[in-house]
Structure 1
Amino acid sequence: MNVPIANQTNALLDRVPSRLAPTPLQTLKQWEVVKHLGSGTSAEVWLLEDEARCHKVACKTPHRGLGTEDLSHEAELAAQLSQENILKPFDVGNDPELSLLEDATFWEFLAGGTLTELVSATGRLSLAQTVTVMLPMIQATKYLQARQIVHGDISPRNIMFDLTGRPVLIDFGAVRATAHDHVRTGTPGFVAPELLLPPSQHQGLEAYADIYALAAVAWFCLSGTVPGSVEHRVPITTLQPELDHDIVEALEAGLNADPTLRPDLDHLLATVAQWAEPEPVDLHASVGEDYGLVLPTRQPQHETPRRRWFRRQNPSKVSSRRGPRCKTSRKKPRSHRSRRLSVALGAFFLAGGVAVTVAYDSNRAHESSESKDEAPQVAGQQDFQAVIDALAKARSATWEAGNPEQVGEYALVDSSVFRDDVELLTVLSESRHHLEGVRMRAVVEDVELSGELAVVTATWQIDGYVQRDQSGKSIRQTSSSEETIEIEIVDTVHGWRIAAVR
């Protein structure tokens, strides 16, 4: 019989408190153990973050009592591979801390989660989304087999996504060369039946096993269930009667109990490509809210996902000024009379058309010093999304707290952004009003970098929020909004700070 995914995923989704991470990880200075990502047959996986440099990395450590031989073999093998849908090891050669850890391996962090989590959240994938997952996985398997390598554990838990929706094959702990002796491996429901037989009755781990696993993954995507054994399997036409005969035939052929009757990878690739035109997978249901906005597939106004990239601007084409492009002159004093005031800052203040209504006494002088807390700094060319994420998060927290003294944590002192935010937050504080539900996020579209200055083009979004008075009464409700803006940020001794917006 077919097995519902809930019964298969409970153990996979168990989480261990980060405080139980191995001692060497807990004693790191620059890196923090954020959370436990999952468990495998021989290892635990942890998410580490270097907040100052905006780096995240997945770290594998062996189960207690086990050695690191398998982990080392996996990392060495992966380092020899180069294919866009195969997990890449994280190079720690220049990291003063991680390079000293002998009982761990490090990998790129894929924030989009696993295929197991996606199907668990959505029930099943459409035919077009299934094609989006399967074609890269078949191509990755072809790449491995061209090098006489069998993965041995292709399954939904070992297929992950980055935030662009790119599927990635992970976990090379089960990978074996085709010439190796038999090793029993694989995930129940996705392991070829011949591998469950005694070693004397078959030739060991062969390429046919991966073909069976790929067909089982396609079945899982389309039905939301794990295919049962051959003799007890419910026909997929019972689960999905609308599937075309050619699709059903391809799935049944790939899941044939006789390895020699399964299609080869070229045939499987050509067959799946004819099922439907691929469409981006929608990861919104399965990723955490921290990544919600940065999912390109959640922006239907764009037919293809946006590429996040930057170009280093030719210094000769940049203004010779060293400071940020922002006004530094003080505003003229306002009228001394107290009045009801609706203040709006256009695009950047909560991403367009957002107003705060308060009682304002303009006689107040506003003073604020830059916070000593450091904002994230850029370590490499691909970190600007993380920098903008951190700045948006800091600004959201400051507005939620209503504390003008925190503005220096994200804005350059004496910039127009700094002055405007301090002024409005002071108004809110004096009126004893607060904003509830303020959350700002951004998707980086383009970056022009020149020295310590970067001009970031981004889609800025603010979720709907409520302005309340001291008693909790709603004063104003504002719906969510989104707008494309240019943000000037400057690399200071305290990290990146917002200098201007246009």
Structure 2
Amino acid sequence: MDESTNVLAWPTCPGYMTVKPLSTKSPCKVWLIRRESDQQYMVLKLSLTMENVASQRIHNVNAARKYVVDSYGMLSTQLGDGLLMEYCPGGSLAALMARRSNFTLAECVTALAPIAQAIAGLHAAGMRHGDISPSNIMLTAQGMPKIIDFQEASLSQDAAEVAGTPGFIAPETFTGAGEEELGARDVFALGSCLWYLLDGEPPDEPHYRPPVRVQFPGVPEIIQELLADSLDEDPLQRPTADQFARTLFSSIPAAPIHWEGFIDTDSNQLMDTIHPDVAARTKHRRAGSRRKAGKTSTVIPGDSGSWHGHRLRRTPGGAKVVAALAIGGIAIAASFLGVKYLLPGQPPDPAAQGAVPGETPGCRILDVGEVPACSFEADTVIASFLALSAARDRAMNSGDSSALRKIYVEDSEQLQRDRETLDSMRKLKLRFNGLETKLEDVSIQARGSADTVILQALSTHSSYTYVDAAGTLRHQVGAGDPERIQVEVELVDGQWFLGTVLSRSD
């Protein structure tokens, strides 16, 4: 079963939210998670191999640490222990190359020279990487490269076993011979990476490879020589990793790697690089602010869109229509689709009763290799969320506060807000008519502990009216603008309930 859709197969740990799988392999061993205390994104690797040991040992090599993905220690989940590592939102150089044109030489300096420096530090400490490739060079939020996936285990494995990425493996590796010069295979891989970034394909085998001067006539001669020497069949003829780095640095001034528009949309917001168009708009706004200096702006109370600052008061007699207008703002602002920032409520009571049919109570996935039949696919969770939203609309239109208990987790703050809205409407002898929430583009965003799932959707409320006890129309409200929302749903005794509204945006 695919872990990307099987929500309850995702690893969980108190204090962390599981955002998404970062691998297409099944069972998935690499996940993007977010620490709730500071909202920091990290990578969780569940496969406990010698790579994890190597990654932690790298931190003893000060010369290499700056351009090596940080390791934060171990984390226990219901699927076993995993290694917490730094998240690089820019993705790998291989993924970036798949979406854009070849690198310029100046970009190659930025991408590979620091990595070669880090590798030189490892070699000086008697270690090697073992699998340098564009797939294992990541871009940080600042657009700088960092290396991952150390294969130090290959030093202690059978000599006939080949470790590395095809296209970036030194030819002597296939002979099963030992490494005469420590790090020579890493240098071959660095040369292959440089060839790949400039050409778009890794170098062919020596007998089929065109001469460097023919393949790259436009690059400086010093780089042509660096490529030829790094890819030499004789390991003793290759430069050291330090010489590789120094040659790259001296060839041409480095330039920022152009990633804008070529990485995942979800990761784009985490990157620190300033886009030229954003900078231009910022400059324009600042200029506009200077032109408006000295002018007085008007602040409208409650304009933030939050329910704070809008208190319902009993309005006598003929002011009911005016009160209804105020309630209209409250009904939408206090709805679970309109609150901008709500604090989490109390944990759900296991004895809470649900209205949406669920699966067998106690359905939990404790082992990634054993997926029970009661596991929930993403479509099941989304369908339950849509059903809960529709049930809430019916409860708000009918004024039935008791029905809300079957929709929200017990003691939910949002449950209390909806109840207050209905109580105020009752005092005014008014009710909603035709209030309906349209949810589009619904998707799973993360999974937390205690079977909590975060969904994202585009929400729009329909036009609706206020009517009195006789059914007389007292006021009409137009349809709202679409909003992007994030909402928690919680699984309690096999049934889903609405939880906290985490955010909203236009």
TM-score relative to the length of structure 2: 0.54
Residue 187 (str. 1) matches residue 165 (str. 2): yes
Q: What are the within-5 Å matches in structure 2 for residues 87-102 of structure 1?
A: 87-92=69-74, 97-98=76-77, 101-102=80-81
Alignment correspondent of 2:301? none
CA distance 1:131–1:228, shift in 2 (3 Å): same
Residue number among 330, 340, 343 corresponding to 1:366 in the alignment? 330
Q: How far does residue 189 in structure 1 lie from its aligned partner after superposition?
A: 1.2
Paired residue type of 2:104? S
Once residues 469 and 236 of structure 1 are traced to their aligned partners in structure 2, the CA distance between those partners, rounded to angstroms, is: 68
Alignment correspondent of 2:444? none
CA distance 1:235–1:33, shift in 2 (3 Å): farther
Residue number among 256, 259, 276 corresponding to 1:282 in the alignment? 259
Secondary structure at the counterpart of residue 149 of structure 1: coil
More divergent stretch after superposition (239-248 vs 122-131): 239-248
Kept after mapping to 1: 8 A contact 2:12/2:18: no
Kept after mapping to 2: 8 A contact 1:149/1:175: no
Once residues 272 and 259 of structure 1 are traced to their aligned partners in structure 2, the CA distance between those partners, rounded to angstroms, is: 20
Deviation per CA, 1:268-290: give whole Å up to 9, x if none.
22221123332233153132x11
Q: How far does residue 17 in structure 1 lie from its aligned partner after superposition?
A: 2.8
Kept after mapping to 2: 8 A contact 1:149/1:177: no
Kept after mapping to 2: 8 A contact 1:174/1:186: no
Residue 86 (str. 1) matches residue 68 (str. 2): yes
Kept after mapping to 1: 8 A contact 2:16/2:34: yes
Q: What are the within-5 Å matches in structure 2 for residues 53-64 of structure 1?
A: 53=37, 54-62=39-47
CA distance 1:39–1:259, shift in 2 (3 Å): farther
CA distance 1:20–1:209, shift in 2 (3 Å): farther
Once residues 6 and 188 of structure 2 are traced to their aligned partners in structure 1, the CA distance between those partners, rounded to angstroms, is: 37
Alignment correspondent of 2:268? 292
Q: What are the within-5 Å matches in structure 2 for residues 243-392 of structure 1?
A: 243-273=219-249, 274-287=251-264, 289-297=265-273, 299-300=275-276, 328=309, 364=328, 366-367=330-331, 368=334
Kept after mapping to 2: 8 A contact 1:182/1:204: no
CA distance 1:302–1:214, shift in 2 (3 Å): farther
Once residues 235 and 44 of structure 1 are traced to their aligned partners in structure 2, the CA distance between those partners, rounded to angstroms, is: 41
Q: How far does residue 50 in structure 1 lie from its aligned partner after superposition?
A: 4.5
Higher relative contact order (CA 8 A, sep 6+): 2
Paired residue type of 1:37? L
TM-score relative to the length of structure 1: 0.54
Paired residue type of 2:44? C
Once residues 96 and 28 of structure 2 are traced to their aligned partners in structure 1, the CA distance between those partners, rounded to angstroms, is: 21
Q: How far does residue 255 in structure 1 lie from its aligned partner after superposition?
A: 1.0
Larger radius of gyration: 2
Alignment correspondent of 1:223? 199
Alignment correspondent of 1:121? 99
Q: How far does residue 162 in structure 1 lie from its aligned partner after superposition?
A: 1.9
Alignment correspondent of 2:446? none
Alignment correspondent of 2:282? none
Deviation per CA, 1:248-284: give whole Å up to 9, x if none.
2221121111222222233322221123332233153
Kept after mapping to 1: 8 A contact 2:51/2:153: no
CA distance 1:170–1:69, shift in 2 (3 Å): closer
Once residues 477 and 69 of structure 1 are traced to their aligned partners in structure 2, the CA distance between those partners, rounded to angstroms, is: 50
CA distance 1:49–1:265, shift in 2 (3 Å): closer
Q: How far does residue 44 in structure 1 lie from its aligned partner after superposition?
A: 5.3
Alignment correspondent of 1:77? 57
Alignment correspondent of 2:30? 46
Paired residue type of 1:262? R
Q: How far does residue 164 in structure 1 lie from its aligned partner after superposition?
A: 1.8
Once residues 271 and 73 of structure 1 are traced to their aligned partners in structure 2, the CA distance between those partners, rounded to angstroms, is: 32
Secondary structure at the counterpart of residue 35 of structure 1: strand
Kept after mapping to 2: 8 A contact 1:436/1:468: no
Paired residue type of 1:221? L
Once residues 310 and 133 of structure 2 are traced to their aligned partners in structure 1, the CA distance between those partners, rounded to angstroms, is: 61
Q: How far does residue 34 in structure 1 lie from its aligned partner after superposition?
A: 3.9
Kept after mapping to 2: 8 A contact 1:151/1:176: no
Q: Which runs of 5+ in 1 are unaligned?
A: 1-14, 63-67, 304-323, 339-359, 377-400, 415-428, 438-464, 479-493
Kept after mapping to 1: 8 A contact 2:435/2:461: no
Kept after mapping to 2: 8 A contact 1:52/1:375: no
Q: What are the within-5 Å matches in structure 2 for residues 439-458 of structure 1?
A: none
Secondary structure at the counterpart of residue 46 of structure 2: strand
Secondary structure at the counterpart of residue 206 of structure 1: coil
Secondary structure at the counterpart of residue 231 of structure 1: coil
Secondary structure at the counterpart of residue 84 of structure 1: helix
Q: How far does residue 152 in structure 1 lie from its aligned partner after superposition?
A: 1.4
Kept after mapping to 1: 8 A contact 2:127/2:152: no
Once residues 496 and 78 of structure 1 are traced to their aligned partners in structure 2, the CA distance between those partners, rounded to angstroms, is: 41
Once residues 436 and 100 of structure 1 are traced to their aligned partners in structure 2, the CA distance between those partners, rounded to angstroms, is: 33
Q: How far does residue 135 in structure 1 lie from its aligned partner after superposition?
A: 1.4
Alignment correspondent of 1:163? 141
CA distance 1:476–1:69, shift in 2 (3 Å): closer
CA distance 1:84–1:283, shift in 2 (3 Å): farther
CA distance 1:435–1:171, shift in 2 (3 Å): closer
Alignment correspondent of 1:142? 120
Paired residue type of 1:217? C
Secondary structure at the counterpart of residue 130 of structure 1: helix
Paired residue type of 1:85? Y
Alignment correspondent of 1:17? 3
Kept after mapping to 2: 8 A contact 1:183/1:205: no
Secondary structure at the counterpart of residue 29 of structure 2: strand
Paired residue type of 2:246? A
Residue number among 162, 175, 183 corresponding to 1:207 in the alignment? 183
Alignment correspondent of 2:425? none
Kept after mapping to 1: 8 A contact 2:192/2:231: yes
CA distance 1:240–1:60, shift in 2 (3 Å): same
Once residues 461 and 500 of structure 2 are traced to their aligned partners in structure 1, the CA distance between those partners, rounded to angstroms, is: 31
Q: How far does residue 241 in structure 1 lie from its aligned partner after superposition?
A: 4.1
Q: How far does residue 207 in structure 1 lie from its aligned partner after superposition?
A: 1.4
CA distance 1:264–1:476, shift in 2 (3 Å): same
Residue number among 14, 25, 36 corresponding to 2:21 in the alignment? 36
Residue 106 (str. 1) matches residue 84 (str. 2): yes
Secondary structure at the counterpart of residue 90 of structure 1: strand
Kept after mapping to 2: 8 A contact 1:164/1:295: yes
Paired residue type of 2:33? E
Once residues 26 and 497 of structure 1 are traced to their aligned partners in structure 2, the CA distance between those partners, rounded to angstroms, is: 21
Alpha-carbon RMSD: 5.7
Once residues 228 and 460 of structure 2 are traced to their aligned partners in structure 1, the CA distance between those partners, rounded to angstroms, is: 55
Kept after mapping to 2: 8 A contact 1:152/1:176: yes
Q: How far does residue 300 in structure 1 lie from its aligned partner after superposition?
A: 2.1
Matched residue count: 357
More divergent stretch after superposition (147-156 vs 254-263): 254-263
